């Protein structure tokens, strides 16, 4: 593991307890539980209000968790970079078809900024932050003066972790849920390959910009974070994954047709989402958890 989790190697319980209040760590665990409860309710009764609450929990987690590690300015920089890049590329995508392919948003998600619903940016930010944290666990954190390989590899892996979420989500909310419409359909339950390539480009772009920002301007680290800190983000990502499994388990199936006129069954789409959640997203969460556990510092 070497430099991958250097902060764990340096961490000590006394030093950390002085740096981070126990109340913040407990609050973050409560947010993990709250997200799970919101997801269960949303499965039974999905609407924009519950989607907004779901995103509010994730954003609160991101800002509190991120501030503990990067400070207020650091997590604010991540948020601004993520929101600006994602909204710009999403609007370009709807207008031109690049980089995602030909698609448009319906009115299901409410008001829009340009062509894109206001809720899309917070979704990028909430899950994007978790993907970034898991990227730093699996590669290394970006610090002032980090080498080029780390500066490139951490956002590259983080972007893969993020795209796994969209791989799981997109068919269920586009072909089935009609949150947005793929105008020419696509091979993955109505979603084209170009969507995932575009997603990777978008996420890698904002994560790389943040990595370059941290490489140049990262504050001097205070107390290293303990294992439990990284486990919180890992657990949050796992909860996001497991909602797709529960969703498949409780919902039935009905025939539907995508924008290209191809027939699908909603039950097959939900089953595919459950499969990809279990064997891609949950795999990454387990891999990150094992990486954290095997580091030599104690959990506290």
User: What share of the chain in percent tops pLDDT 70?
Assistant: 91
pLDDT score, position 176: 93
Residue 25 Cα distances to 47, 133, 232, angstroms: 30, 16, 9
Query: Which pLDDT belongs to residue 203?
Result: 99
pLDDT of residue 9: 43
For the stretch 151-192, pLDDT in tens is 999 999 999 999 999 999 999 999 999 999 999 999 999 999
Mind listing the pLDDT tens digit for each residue in 220-237? 766 678 899 999 999 999
Identify the pLDDT of residue 250. 92
- Percentage of residues in the chain with pLDDT exceeding 90? 84
pLDDT at residue 297, as a whole number: 60
Rounded Cα–Cα distance for residues 135 and 100 (Å): 23
**167 token code pair:** 């791989």
pLDDT for the residue numbered 300: 37
Task: Give the closest residue to 202 by CA, choosing from 121, 260, 275, 137.
Answer: 121
- Separation between Cα atoms, residue 77 and residue 74, nearest integer Å: 5
pLDDT on residue 5: 55
Q: What are the φ/ψ torsions at residue 181 (nearest 5 degrees)?
A: -125, 125
One-character DSSP codes across 104-161 = EE-STT--EETTEETTHHHHHHHHHHHHHHHHHHHS----TT--HHHHHHHHHHHHHH
Let me know: does 116 contact 105? Beta carbons within 8 Å.
yes
Is the distance from CB of 277 to CB of 245 less than 8 angstroms? yes
Helix, strand or coil, per DSSP, at residue 188: strand
Q: How much is the pLDDT for 295?
A: 83
What are the residue ranges in the chain where pLDDT is below 70? 1-20, 221-223, 297-300
């Amino acid at each position: 593991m070497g430099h991958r989790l250097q902060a764990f190697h340096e961490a000590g319980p006394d030093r950390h307890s002085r740096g981070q209040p126990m109340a913040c760590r407990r609050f973050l665990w409560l947010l993990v539980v709250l997200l799970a409860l919101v997801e269960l309710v949303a499965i039974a009764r999905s609407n924009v209000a519950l989607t907004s609450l779901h995103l509010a929990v994730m954003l609160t987690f991101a800002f509190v968790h991120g501030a503990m590690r990067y400070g207020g300015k650091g997590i604010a920089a991540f948020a601004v970079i993520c929101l600006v890049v994602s909204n710009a590329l999403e609007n370009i995508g709807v207008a031109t078809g690049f980089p995602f392919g030909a698609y448009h948003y319906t009115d299901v998600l409410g008001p829009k900024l340009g062509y894109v619903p206001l809720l899309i940016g917070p979704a990028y930010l909430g899950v994007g932050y978790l993907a970034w944290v898991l990227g730093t666990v699996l590669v290394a954190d970006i610090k002032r003066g980090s080498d080029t390989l780390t500066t490139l590899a951490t956002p590259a892996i983080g972007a893969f972790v993020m795209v796994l979420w969209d791989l799981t989500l997109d068919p269920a909310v586009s072909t089935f849920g009609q949150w947005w419409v793929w105008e020419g359909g696509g091979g993955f339950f109505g979603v084209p390959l170009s969507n995932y390539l575009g997603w990777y480009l978008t996420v890698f772009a904002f994560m790389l910009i943040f990595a370059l920002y941290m490489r140049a301007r990262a504050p001097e680290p205070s107390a290293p974070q303990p294992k439990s800190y990284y486990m919180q983000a890992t657990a949050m990502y796992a909860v996001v994954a497991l909602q797709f499994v529960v969703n498949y388990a409780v919902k039935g199936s009905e025939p539907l047709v995508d924008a290209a006129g191809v027939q699908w069954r909603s039950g097959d789409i939900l089953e595919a989402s459950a499969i990809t959640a279990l064997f891609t997203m949950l795999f990454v969460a387990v891999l990150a958890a094992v990486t954290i556990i095997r580091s030599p510092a104690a959990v506290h």
